[in-house]
């Protein structure tokens, strides 16, 4: 099963704080970042689909609650990077974007607001560590069953379940095409 929940495009979208000309090693890291994110996304999607099949939303929601973070971390461990999802509107508060991350999310949002596709970026910090950031855009109606608008795609019984698991949830009210957050890959 394939759920297209992210837009990934390559190439031009380097961060301002990296050199203007992409070196071949940067291109390689960009490709690796994309592959890692795709792998994690596929793993999460497959597991979500199975949980849905086995018991609907009332099973899949608590399943995501316990499995999403470990599956993400596991993919990072296998690929020898640190992998996580961060967002401006967290469900799990540990996924709340930092100030710096929010600046990148804002850039992705600006691209969307202008009707363009946000592109993944590589950022190099002062210690020469490279981070790959990829926008997560909602492209599948399925996502809205747990992240959509209350009373519309998000049923009240689902919302109750969300609130019981995440009393401080901010991750509802999304529509198709909305920015949900981003993937963050830190290379060693």
| Closest to 81 measured CA to CA, from 90, 89, 73 | 73
- Degrees to nearest 5, angle at CA 127 with 123 and 132: 25
Among 8, 30, 61, 97, indicate the residue that binds ligand HEC (CB under 6 A). 61
* Cβ pair 5, 140 in contact under 8 A: yes
Between residues 17 and 170, which has the closer beta carbon with respect to ligand HEC? 170
CA-to-CA distance for 75 and 77, rounded, in angstroms? 5
Between residues 95 and 131, which has the closer beta carbon with respect to ligand HEC? 95
- Convert 159-175 to b/e letters by CB count within 10 Å (16 or more is b): bebbeeebeebebbebe
CA-to-CA distance for 93 and 97, rounded, in angstroms? 9
Residues 37-56 that bind ligand HEC (CB under 6 A): 48
Between residues 18 and 92, which has the closer beta carbon with respect to ligand HEC? 92
Size of the site for ligand HEC (CB under 6 A): 27
Residues 70-129 that bind ligand HEC (CB under 6 A): 85, 87, 90-92, 95
Work out whether 185 is an interface residue with ligand HEC (CB under 6 A).
no
Residues in touch with ligand HEC (CB under 6 A): 3, 5, 48, 57, 60-61, 64-65, 68-69, 85, 87, 90-92, 95, 136, 138, 140, 142-143, 145-147, 171, 180-181
């Amino acid at each position: 099963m394939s759920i297209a929940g992210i837009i990934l495009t390559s190439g031009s979208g380097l961060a301002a704080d990296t050199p203007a000309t992409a070196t071949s090693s940067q291109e390689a890291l960009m490709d690796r970042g994309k592959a890692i994110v795709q792998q994690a996304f596929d793993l999460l999607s497959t597991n979500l689909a199975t949980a849905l099949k086995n018991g609907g939303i009332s099973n899949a929601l608590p399943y995501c609650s316990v499995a999403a973070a470990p599956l993400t971390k596991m993919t990072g461990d296998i690929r020898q990077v640190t992998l996580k999802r961060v967002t401006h509107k967290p469900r799990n508060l540990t996924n709340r974007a930092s100030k710096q991350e929010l600046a990148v999310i804002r850039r992705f949002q600006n691209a969307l607001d202008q009707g363009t596709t946000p592109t993944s970026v590589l950022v190099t910090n002062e210690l020469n560590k490279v981070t790959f950031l990829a926008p997560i855009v909602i492209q599948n109606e399925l996502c809205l069953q747990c992240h959509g608008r209350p009373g519309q795609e998000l049923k009240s019984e689902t919302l109750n379940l969300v609130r019981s698991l995440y009393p401080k949830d901010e991750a509802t009210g999304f529509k198709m095409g909305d920015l949900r957050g981003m993937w963050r890959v830190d290379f060693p």
